[in-house]
Amino acid sequence: MVSDSRDITSAIQSDEADAIHTPRDLWRVGTSDCGVYAQGHGLVLREKGASGESLSLIGENGVSQWRTDVPRLASDILPITGAVPADDAVVIQWLEQGGLGMIHGAFALSDGQKLWESQPIVGGSTRLPSGLTALDWNADGIDDVLGFHFGLYVLDGATGQLLFRTSSPLEPYFMVTPTQADNDAQEELLLHAGFYPRRVIDDDFESVLWSGDDDRPFPYRSIVTCPTGAAAVGSSYLHPATLVMTDLSSGQDTSIVVLSGGLSYSNEGAALADGASLQQLTSTYAHPDLLGSATAGVVVGEADGWLYFLDACTLELQHAVLMPGAVGAMAFVRLANGGAELAVSTSDGYLYGLRQFALIAPNNVLDIDPQGDPSQDIDVLLGTTRAAASWSPVTGADKYEVALIRDATNEFVDGGDWREVTSTEAHFSPLALSPDTLYRFAVRASGPAGDSPIATSDGFVVVIDDRYVAGGGCTCSPADGNHPSISYLIFAAILWTRIGRARRT
């Protein structure tokens, strides 16, 4: 599920997506900028319309199940279990009209009927809504609602009544995450993602077990389980490129690395001495088996476009990928074949999918003259009946699959299937290519260990052998019979730049 700046929420299926084929749109809702998935029910959306704000449930088939008006735009959406007999609910939070309080309301996931509305949670002199968390605070089998607004509070999930409020005011904002920080049966609370030092609160919700450095730890942290116990991994604003792993039982920082330019450094001084730029890291995203090594891993992005994969328990850098823009939000996606991929948004406005492969992608995929030098890339192909490509060999590969693609439609040419070759060069003939059309080759390696990602050439434009259309519209022939006019070459370059950007997924 993806929400964008146009207030469009889309459901996409990426199982068959690759470097050629974009993810398939399942459905879209054009009035929503926020959605939360409720297990077994569908997607709960907040919607904005001319007549006011509403909350809706979209089934997994994209069909609206219900829609209900809400007083104001929801600042958070939290599914909870067992709020009414045999039913689950969704709790939303909104700002009090004309006041400083936070109001919460619960709506049945079965039909959207309002179950309860809380009294305003009032704190200090500002309105800073924080994210909500579900936990069974009073052990009645129903999720209760845990939030933070100038202190912790708990609302009864069945009635909306206030069950607990911190006895003395605290800072205005924290994200609250339940965790196990000691050896007793009750969960403690990690307060993070605020302007103030992160800390762990004991299970009485009052006592501070430890408090960290005042390093403005605003990005969200991930909790990981390591052989030594639970730990939190994240960065801060005062040390933007520094990633820290903190033991949740003691508050000690057990591992620290500085990430920049796709590399890992032991401290900021070492990074600066190497000429590194200290860019802001994103929030971290944890996975129990990130790189297939049966150990926990974390992913974190950087403002300069680098995406880092690290061992969560040592912060040892395992892999880094340079993305086309500053890295934004990410999500792990389950695939139909049982595998997983990482969906990453970047500042260029595109969503990218990353998967693990056994082999690296072929490098230097070139469009070549079928009768020319296989090491020379071409941008214009004279003739419509044949085409060829070459690429660098891939270690571990014993064969390659090659396809010729019509760029504008991403359709396979000549039969619509991959061709298998054992060399690093492929010739396609006979063909019936269309003049003035951009084509490109796609290549993937294969071996006993598995396949590689798809690599593509930069493309070539087809022209008819004995004449060329110049930019001014006249029909011209090249003086030597081999090269198109300069005006046509310029057209080809412009065409590739425009279409090449559009095909990013």
In tens, the pLDDT along 228-248 reads 889 999 999 999 999 999 999
Does 478 have pLDDT greater than 80? no
Does 256 have pLDDT greater than 70? yes
Residue 118: DSSP 8-state = P
Q: What is the pLDDT of residues 52-69, one digit of tens each?
A: 789 999 988 888 999 999
* Amino acid 465: pLDDT: 57
The amino acid at 298: V
Locate tokens 């890339």: which residue? Answer: 377
| CA nearest neighbour of 144 among 176, 169, 167 | 176
The amino acid at 22: T
* Amino acid 157: pLDDT: 94
| CA nearest neighbour of 221 among 261, 265, 177, 256 | 177
Residue scoring higher pLDDT (213 or 309): 309
Q: What is the pLDDT of residues 447-459, one digit of tens each?
A: 999 899 999 999 9
Model confidence at 103, in pLDDT bands (50, 70, 90)?
A: very high
Name every residue whose Cβ is closer than 8 Å to that of residue 206 and which is 6 or more positions away in sequence: 166, 167
Q: Token pair of 295, please?
A: 């150990």
* Amino acid 5: pLDDT: 76
Instruction: Determine the average pLDDT of the residues in 268-272.
Output: 97
Q: What percent of the chain has pLDDT above 70?
A: 90
Collapsed DSSP state (helix, strand, coil) of residue 365: coil
* Amino acid 470: pLDDT: 41
350, 326 contact by CB (below 8 A): no
Model confidence at 401, in pLDDT bands (50, 70, 90)?
A: very high
Name every residue whose Cβ is closer than 8 Å to that of residue 480 and which is 6 or more positions away in sequence: none
Q: Please state which of the ranges 194-198, 349-353, 469-473, 501-505 shows the lowest mean pLDDT.
A: 501-505
* Amino acid 466: pLDDT: 52
Helix (H) / strand (E) element for 496: namely helix 486-502
Residue scoring higher pLDDT (184 or 329): 329
Task: Quickly list H helices, 240-324.
Answer: 268-273
Which domains occur in the chain, in start order?
A: 213-346 (2.130.10.10), 366-502 (2.60.40.10)
Helix (H) / strand (E) element for 486: namely helix 486-502
Model confidence at 492, in pLDDT bands (50, 70, 90)?
A: very low
Residue scoring higher pLDDT (494 or 148): 148
Distances (CA, A) of 312 to 129, 247, 284, 318, 339: 30, 12, 10, 10, 20
Model confidence at 86, in pLDDT bands (50, 70, 90)?
A: low
Collapsed DSSP state (helix, strand, coil) of residue 273: helix
